[in-house]
Structure 1
Amino acid sequence: MTKMDDTLTMLKELTDAKGIAGNEREVRKVMEKYIAPFADEVTTDGLGSLIAKKAGNEDGPKIAVTGHLDEVGFMISQIDDKGFLRFQTVGGWWSQVMLAQRVTIATRKGDVTGVIGSKPPHILSADARKKPVDSKDMFIDIGASSREEAEEWGVRPGDMAVPYFEFTVMNNEKMLLAKAWDNRIGCAIAIDVLRQLQEIDHPNVVYGIGAVQEEVGLRGAKTSTFQIKPDIGFAVDVGIAGDTPGVTSKEALSKMGEGPQIVLYDASMVSHKGLRDLVTDTADELNIPYQYESMPGGGTDAGSIHLTANGVPALAITIATRYIHSHAAMLHRDDYENAVKLIVEVIKRLDRETVDRITFD
């Protein structure tokens, strides 16, 4: 069995925490526990995004490193007479990965275990077996016999239901399997960037942010960035790993373990060329591996960051991750550590002159 070092313990606590969009408090507490020792102050915006400030030069430019606290999950919408729970998806789900999966409903009386109900194949017609079930037709079974019993257990409409999966270090100990890598790995990167800046003089003020409600429209990144008005913004998130069977190089090029992804383009933003060049030049200089990525079908918090106030040069740096938006996703520890290293090295170079050149060239 793998010995849990401090980093793995932090990653386990971050991914085990429950927090869909609008219900991020538990995750925020974990992130605050780990980032506060390295921050001068920790505040929140009005929606609940965590903002940890670390000043190098108080007169220098402001740099935001933003992960998001929320994960994809479900919200209970009604309880039927027999005690089954109907739900609303929160964030993007492909219905085929949902059936027969275990979930945890967070109620005011404590956690309740449930499973997303499914029919056994024995009673399905040949045609029905070939068709994905629409999420609108699914339900969660918590073992209740009536609406009254479910309510006695504390279940109410509006409660969140979160995928259940235990953090696991694979036989290849670089491979880490967990729920909610999207985007607790971004929160971990923000924590570790501030941690590494403890020992380093940096010519700026750095903000490590855990934004809320990314999965429903990049919302917390908008409010937190507006609150601090940074000069430069990085979104740290997961990206698509293209190294599994059935995924073509046209769909996704990146491979786990070959470095963080520099996102050129996605549905929310065309990346800022000057900032992108600084990041890749720094990586080339220091032999930090990286990959290019474009995601025309998705976006990151950089989409909100770059549109704040008069505009903020921004870039998304992501970790190639398998099976995102499902109960269990996998990433490579080297990519995480290289992302932290790269962002720290770039921050060391972001003095006022460099930021002005990037912004006004």
Structure 2
Amino acid sequence: MTKLDETLSMLKALTDAKGIPGDEAEPREVMKTYIEPYCDEITYDNLGSLIAKKTGSQDGPKIMMAGHLDEVGFMVTRIDDKGFIRFQPVGGWWGQVLLAQRVTVMTDKGNITGIVGSKPPHILSPEARKKPFPLKDMYIDIGATDREEAMEFGVEPGNSIVPYSEFTVMSNPKMLLAKAFDNRIGCAIVIDAFRQLKDGKHPNTVYGVGTVQEEVGLRGAKTASHLIEPDIAFAIDTGIPGDTPGVTDRDALSSLGKGPQIILYDARTLAHRGLRKYVLEVANKNKIPYQLDTTAGGGTDAGTIHISHEGVPSLSITMATRYLHTHASMIHRDDYENTVKLVVEIIKGLDEKKVKEIIKP
């Protein structure tokens, strides 16, 4: 494996951590470890979202940056007589990406390796081979001989189940592969932005948030934003690229390596026009590449932040990420570096005057 530098080591630690919605303790602890040296204090909302605060050079507006800690996964619902695990998806899954994939079942006695069972093609009829297998009929094999043995291993209803995939630097070292880039990459960008702002001046108070339960309804973003009461907010997340076979420019416009995505609208948020104008001005002024895009389905934490309290001008800044909501996704390191740079420059310019200008109808 390629020797990991500081950024790659952080990305590995964040993506290797296991944390489905409602069970984000591992990635939250990793984020805390990395961001704590660069903030003034860390607090939490009552659902478990991490909130890092950094006070700037003056008592200016409150700026919220949110990356969500949780990843899509599954939950044990029951164990059958033969020791096979039945499960419930937690977050959005397309059933065709699951068969024969390795998973980790998290128990109080330790982690257990399992695999989503599949039939060999030898016993499938020609008709059966053409049909997608229903997710509701899938099971996980942990090698137990019966229910009692599975329970002895520590398996019980409610256990988290996490996709298994090792962090990998590809042959092209700018291409990175891992589980949970959605959205540990957003958490990493928040951490790196805090790192770069540590000794620099910014005329505001910045809140870097690792939200919980984004994949099941943007829940942690709602509670965290009510606690912070931000003046301006950014959801830092992953986005869909259109640069793979079978995806057309009607589905997605962006490509890996061409810069962060500025999301004009998605299913939960219309980008605030004043904030969008400001962000594009910052990107152009600093010659940071970017891509304008839209997402007809799905949404980011901005979906609940922007309608909290009296309303919070919000915008989603995302990174094009291949193979979202599967066991492994792929990003381009240049996009990561440029997204961090853009976020830092945005924050540096958000003084009280600029925020009033943005908010003004």
TM-score range, shorter chain: over 0.9
Q: Superposed, which structure 2 residues align to 1:78-93 within 5 Å?
A: 78-93=78-93
Task: Report the AA paired with residue 23 of structure 1.
Answer: D
Relative to the length of structure 2, the TM-score reads 0.99
What is the CA–CA distance in structure 1 between the aligned matches of 2:79 and 2:302, rounded to whole Å?
Answer: 38
Shift, 1:347, TM fit: 0.5
Q: Which residue of 1 aligns with 2:187?
A: 187
Distance 2:285 2:190 in 1: 23
> Does 2:224 match 1:224?
yes
**Residue 124 (structure 2) aligns with:** 124
- Residue 49 (structure 2) aligns with: 49
Match of 1:209, SS state, is: strand
Letter in 1 for 2:256: M
| Residue equivalent to 2:75 | 75
**Corresponding residue number in structure 2 for 1:23:** 23
2:97 corresponding residue in structure 1? 97
Deviation at 1:60, TM superposition (A): 0.5
Superposed counterparts of 1:316-355, under 5 Å: 316-355=316-355
SS, match of residue 277 in structure 1: helix
Deviation at 1:216, TM superposition (A): 0.3
CA drift of 1:342 comes to: 0.5
Instruction: Provide the secondary structure at the position in 2 that maps to 1:357.
Output: helix
* CA deviation string 1:73-101 (max 9, x = no partner): 00000001110000000000000000000
What SS does structure 1 have at the residue aligned with 2:128? helix
Match of 2:161 in 1: 161
Share of identical aligned residues, percent?
A: 66
Structure 1 regions of 5+ residues with no counterpart? none
Q: Which letter maps to 1:343?
A: V
**3-state DSSP of counterpart to 1:93:** coil
Name the structure 2 match of 1:294: 294
Which residue of the partner structure matches residue 199 of structure 1? 199
Match of 1:111 in 2: 111
Supply the distance in 1 between the matched residues of 2:106 and 2:293 (Cα, whole angstroms).
36
**Matches of 2:21 and 2:338, distance apart in 1:** 28
Distance in 2 (CA, whole Å) between partners of 1:90 and 1:132 is 20
CA distance in 1, matches of 2:112, 2:288: 44
Displacement of 1:241:
1.0
1:152: Cα distance to partner?
A: 0.4
- For each residue in 1:242-297, what CA deviation from the matched residue of structure 2 results, as whole angstroms up to 9, or x when unmatched? 10011001111100000000000000010001111111111111110000110011
Q: Which string of whole-angstrom CA distances, capped at 9 and with x for unpartnered residues, describes residues 70-127 of structure 1?
A: 0000000000111000000000000000000000001000000000000011111111
Which residue in the other structure is 2:275 paired with? 275
How many residues are matched? 361
Counterpart of 2:19, as a letter, is G
Equivalent AA in structure 2 for residue 19 of structure 1: G
Please name the residue that 2:360 is paired with: 360
Is the partner of 1:269 in helix, strand or coil? coil
- CA–CA distance in structure 1, aligned partners of residues 76 and 351 of structure 2: 48
Name the amino acid aligned to 2:303: G
Partner of 1:244: 244
- Where does residue 142 of structure 2 map in the other structure? 142
In 2, Cα distance between equivalents of 1:254 and 1:63? 27
TM-score for the superposition, normalised by structure 1? 0.99
How far did residue 59 of structure 1 move?
1.7
Structure 2 letter corresponding to 1:63: I
1:215 aligned partner: 215
Deviations 1:168-212 (A, max 9, x none): 000111100000000000000010111110121100000110000
> Tell me, what secondary structure is at the counterpart of 2:227?
helix
User: In the TM superposition, what is the alpha-carbon distance from 1:57 to its structure 2 partner?
Assistant: 3.7
Deviation at 1:58, TM superposition (A): 5.2
Helix, strand or coil: the match of 1:112? strand
| Aligned position for 1:60 | 60
CA distance in structure 2 between the aligned counterparts of 1:226 and 1:35, rounded to whole angstroms = 22
Q: Which amino acid aligns with 2:187?
A: C
CA RMSD of aligned residues (A): 0.7
CA distance in 2: counterparts of 1:111 and 1:283, whole angstroms: 44
Secondary structure of 2:242's counterpart equals coil
Q: Which runs of 5+ in 2 are unaligned?
A: none
SS at match of 2:214: coil
Letter in 1 for 2:63: I
